[in-house]
Amino acid sequence: MAEEEEESELSDKQKIEIAKWFLLNSPPGEIQYVAKDVKSILNNDDLYNEAASDAFPVYNKSHLISLQMPDRSGDVVVTSFGEVDGNAFLDPRTAQVAIVDHVKQVCKEVRPATDEELPSSFVEEFRCSLDAEILKYVEEAYPKGVCSVYCINGKDVEGPGSDFELAAVISAARHSPQNFCNGSWCSIWNILFKYDQQTVEVKGKLQVDAHYFEEGNVQLDTKHECKDATFLQAPEDCAHAISSIIRHQESEYFASLEASYLKLSDSTFKDLRRKLPVTRTLFPWHNTLQFSLTRDLSKELGIGK
Topology classification of domain 10-62: Ribosomal protein S3 C-terminal domain (3.30.1140)
Cα 179 to its chain centre, rounded Å, is 20
Q: Are the beta carbons of 211 and 28 closer than 8 angstroms? A: yes
d(CA 210, CA 25): 12
Reduced to 3 states, what is the DSSP secondary structure of residue 205?
A: strand
User: Structurally, what CATH architecture does the domain formed by 119-262 represent?
Assistant: Alpha-Beta Complex (3.90)
The whole-number pLDDT of residue 178 equals 87
Model pTM? 0.83
d(CA 58, CA 53): 9
Q: Are the beta carbons of 204 and 188 closer than 8 angstroms? A: yes
**How many residues are recorded in the chain?**
305
Q: What average pLDDT is seen over the chain?
A: 87
The pairs formed by 115-118 with CB atoms below 8 angstroms and a separation of 24 or more are 117/84, 117/90, 118/92, 118/155
Reduced to 3 states, what is the DSSP secondary structure of residue 279?
A: coil
Nearest C-alpha neighbor of 134 from the set 55, 246, 280: 246
For the chain, where do the domains classified as CATH 3.30.1140.60 start and end? 10-62, 66-114
For the chain, where do the domains classified as CATH 3.90.1150.210 start and end? 119-262
The whole-number pLDDT of residue 213 equals 85
The whole-number pLDDT of residue 1 equals 47
Q: Are the beta carbons of 17 and 50 closer than 8 angstroms? A: no
Region 129-134: what's the mean pLDDT? 98
pLDDT tens-digit map of 224-263 = 999 999 999 999 999 999 999 999 999 999 898 888 777 7
The whole-number pLDDT of residue 274 equals 53
Looking at per-residue pLDDT, the higher value among 50 and 144 belongs to 50
Q: What is the dihedral of CA 77, 83, 88, 90, to 10 degrees?
A: -60
The whole-number pLDDT of residue 49 equals 96
For residue 179, is pLDDT > 80?
yes
pLDDT tens-digit map of 255-285 = 988 887 777 656 665 665 555 555 656 555 5
Region 183-188: what's the mean pLDDT? 95
Q: How confident is the model at residue 299 (pLDDT cuts 50, 70, 90)?
A: low
d(CA 221, CA 257): 12
The whole-number pLDDT of residue 43 equals 94
The whole-number pLDDT of residue 297 equals 47
The whole-number pLDDT of residue 75 equals 92
CATH number for region 66-114: 3.30.1140.60
pLDDT tens-digit map of 78-122 = 999 999 998 999 999 999 999 999 999 999 999 999 999 999 999
Looking at per-residue pLDDT, the higher value among 189 and 302 belongs to 189
Q: Are the beta carbons of 149 and 168 closer than 8 angstroms? A: yes
